[in-house]
Amino acid sequence: METASRPGLRERKKQRIRDALLRAALELFLTQGYERTTVDEITAAVDVSQRTFFRYYAGKEEAVFFTHSVAASHFVDAVRARPRDEAPLEALRQAVLQGWDGIGETIERIIPVELHLRTYQLIESTPALFATHLRRSAEVEEEIARVIAEREGLDVDTDPRPRVAVAVFGGVMRVTERLWGTGEDISVAAIHRLTVSHLDAVRPALAEKWRTDGADGASAAVN
Amino acid sequence: METASRPGLRERKKQRIRDALLRAALELFLTQGYERTTVDEITAAVDVSQRTFFRYYAGKEEAVFFTHSVAASHFVDAVRARPRDEAPLEALRQAVLQGWDGIGETIERIIPVELHLRTYQLIESTPALFATHLRRSAEVEEEIARVIAEREGLDVDTDPRPRVAVAVFGGVMRVTERLWGTGEDISVAAIHRLTVSHLDAVRPALAEKWRTDGADGASAAVN
DNA sequence: GAGGTTAGTGACAGCCACTGACAATTGACA
DNA sequence: TGTCAATTGTCAGTGGCTGTCACTAACCTC
């Protein structure tokens, strides 16, 4: 009866090492900076060999983005779960907001949410990580585009709308994240607020004239 | 009188090495792949020391993106040169199309345009390069957002519209580039056509309902 | 519970991108 | 032509990452 609840000593030991490495890595990255932290320092903190680190994580980057992968697949699932009568962009909007609000339960099993949220600041301030983050986002967007296309009964290779819609949405999310990640308030409430205000700014931003409709645009101001 | 036209032997020698390194690097990257090409191979082809390569280029990546930097600043200049009565998105649209059409004169002084265009395929097919490409694009977008904000007399830090508009535009351009770069036809005509069709798909993609307006959406189909 | 099997680890050697330091070389210029 | 300064080659070293191999400890069977 305990094979399901207790996965065996070997497996538990592995899990402990994986967790310890992740935590040590993130804490070192956040205190000393990503590039100034060597793998040797991480493994020294956990007291395993350098080789062991690379058996658990493909590299330093994978450690940084470990929890992000979890969050990303939750987001994709959330999009899939949206009612089919919702407009595509509305479904995406609800899915991200839902994802952010549920980030606690999603991440806390692995590391303190605080640590996860702080990785965004690390990513935004480290060019190499930021680049990887964008690439990973692009991969998620490709997946989302396929989901949207399926929802709408379209072929993602002949109709540009699914990818375009997702790209528009993703572009706005990047701006939002960046503003949030480079700011001081890394609370979930803050990202929630910024997400809403930026998504609401899409239609005004696409308007022909910006200068005359001051009321509409100014109302979407941020900060 | 010849300081301007003939920059001296030393300078010419440097330029020759810089060009030779760039060409050798790109040709090796394109034939063997980016990661399978070592810096030693590049410098061996040009017959200089490895150290010399790093004096001209900060790393392998910088060589790949050398011409892209030129193209990017031409694009930014083109946006700046657009008439101020043009709507922001229209100005961006015209500037990119203009940029692509003039890519020949812009790049040919450095390397054959053919080589430059092929680097897009390399970038799209090499995750590390793709990531860097996205980061660089994000930097350009930030610059463009400031230009747009200035054009419209807005503060980029309080009004979200400049960054949002540029992010929307940039998102669509990424999708376009990716489709083009992973396809077979890497002609300027092809990217021009894809750019137009994708930008035209933005409004339909933002529509509430996709299923009913089949005529509008299907007309924007690609390929 | 002894003994074989196998997964996981440490130790070591090595590749490659990249950097700093210093000496050798070679245009530039008087 | 000799001096100065810019460029280059050489060398040594760091750090991320990988392959290999022997060893240990968990697991499994009888």
Can you give the pLDDT at residue B102? 94
Q: What is the pLDDT of residues B40-91, one digit of tens each?
A: 999 999 999 999 999 999 999 999 999 999 999 999 999 999 999 999 999 9
* Residue numbers in B near A211 (CB within 8 A): 152-153
* Residue numbers in B near A217 (CB within 8 A): 159, 161
pLDDT above 70 covers a percentage of chain B that reads 92
Can you give the pLDDT at residue A220? 42
> What part of B 153-192 touches A (C-beta under 8 Å)?
153-154, 157-165, 167-172, 174-175, 178-179
| Domain spans, chain B | 2-59, 65-218
Residue A218: closest C-alpha in chain B:
B159
User: What span, in angstroms and rounded, lies between the C-alpha atoms of B139 and B127?
Assistant: 19
* Residue numbers in B near A203 (CB within 8 A): 206
User: What span, in angstroms and rounded, lies between the C-alpha atoms of B15 and B200?
Assistant: 43
Can you give the pLDDT at residue A212? 65
Confidence of residue A210 (pLDDT cuts 50, 70, 90): confident
- In degrees and rounded to multiples of 5, residue B105 shows phi and psi of -60, -35
Contact yes or no for A134/B131 (Cβ under 8 A) = yes
pLDDT at A63 over 80: yes
Q: What is the pLDDT of residues A192-208, one digit of tens each?
A: 999 999 999 999 999 88
3-state secondary structure of B59: coil
Q: What is the pLDDT of residues B22-32, one digit of tens each?
A: 999 999 999 99
Confidence of residue B218 (pLDDT cuts 50, 70, 90): very low
For A175, A197, B3, B39, B144, the CA distances from B152, given in Å and listed in that order, are 19, 20, 43, 46, 12
Facing residue for B202 by CB, picked from A130, A168, A170: A168
Average pLDDT, chain B: 92
pLDDT at A140 over 50: yes
User: What span, in angstroms and rounded, lies between the C-alpha atoms of A148 and A152?
Assistant: 6
A198 and B164 in contact by Cβ < 8 A? yes
Report helix angle B66-81 to B113-125, nearest 10: 100
Residue range B15-25: average pLDDT? 98
User: What span, in angstroms and rounded, lies between the C-alpha atoms of B8 and B174?
Assistant: 42
| The domain defined by B2-59 carries CATH number 1.10.645.10 | no
Can you give the pLDDT at residue B214? 45
Asked if A152 is an interface residue toward chain B (Cβ–Cβ < 8 A), one would say yes
Average pLDDT, chain A: 92
Distance A112 CA to C9 C1' (A): 28
- In degrees and rounded to multiples of 5, residue B36 shows phi and psi of -80, -5
- Indicate the class that CATH gives domain B65-218: mainly alpha
pLDDT at B3 over 50: no
Can you give the pLDDT at residue A7? 82
Q: Which residue has the higher pLDDT, B61 or B214?
A: B61
Facing residue for B204 by CB, picked from A161, A175, A210: A161
User: What span, in angstroms and rounded, lies between the C-alpha atoms of A71 and A100?
Assistant: 9
Upper half-sphere CA count for residue A28 (Cβ side, 13 Å): 21
Task: Output the six-digit token pair for B158.
Answer: 């309080």
Q: What is the pLDDT of residues A156-170, one digit of tens each?
A: 999 999 999 999 999
Facing residue for A160 by CB, picked from B165, B168, B201: B201
pLDDT at B221 over 50: no
Can you give the pLDDT at residue A214? 45
Residue range B156-172: average pLDDT? 97
Can you give the pLDDT at residue A58? 97
Facing residue for A159 by CB, picked from B134, B172, B217: B217
Asked if A193 is an interface residue toward chain B (Cβ–Cβ < 8 A), one would say no
- List the Cα angle B170/B156/A145 in 5-degree steps: 25
> What part of A 76-135 touches B (C-beta under 8 Å)?
87-89, 127, 130-132, 134-135
Asked if A149 is an interface residue toward chain B (Cβ–Cβ < 8 A), one would say no
Can you give the pLDDT at residue B5? 57
pLDDT at A4 over 70: no
pLDDT at A216 over 60: no
Residue range A123-134: average pLDDT? 98
Distance B27 CA to C20 C1' (A): 30
Contact yes or no for B75/B96 (Cβ under 8 A) = yes
Nearest CA to A204 among B102, B54, B168, B55?
Answer: B168
Task: Output the six-digit token pair for A163.
Answer: 């990818």
Q: What is the pLDDT of residues A12-40, one digit of tens each?
A: 999 999 999 999 999 999 999 999 999 99
pLDDT at A137 over 80: yes
pLDDT at A223 over 80: no
pLDDT above 70 covers a percentage of chain A that reads 92
Distance A119 CA to C20 C1' (A): 32
Residue A166: closest C-alpha in chain B:
B171
Residue range B167-192: average pLDDT? 97
Can you give the pLDDT at residue A217? 40
The answer to whether B2-59 and B65-218 have equal CATH topology is no
User: What span, in angstroms and rounded, lies between the C-alpha atoms of A209 and A177?
Assistant: 27
Confidence of residue B220 (pLDDT cuts 50, 70, 90): very low
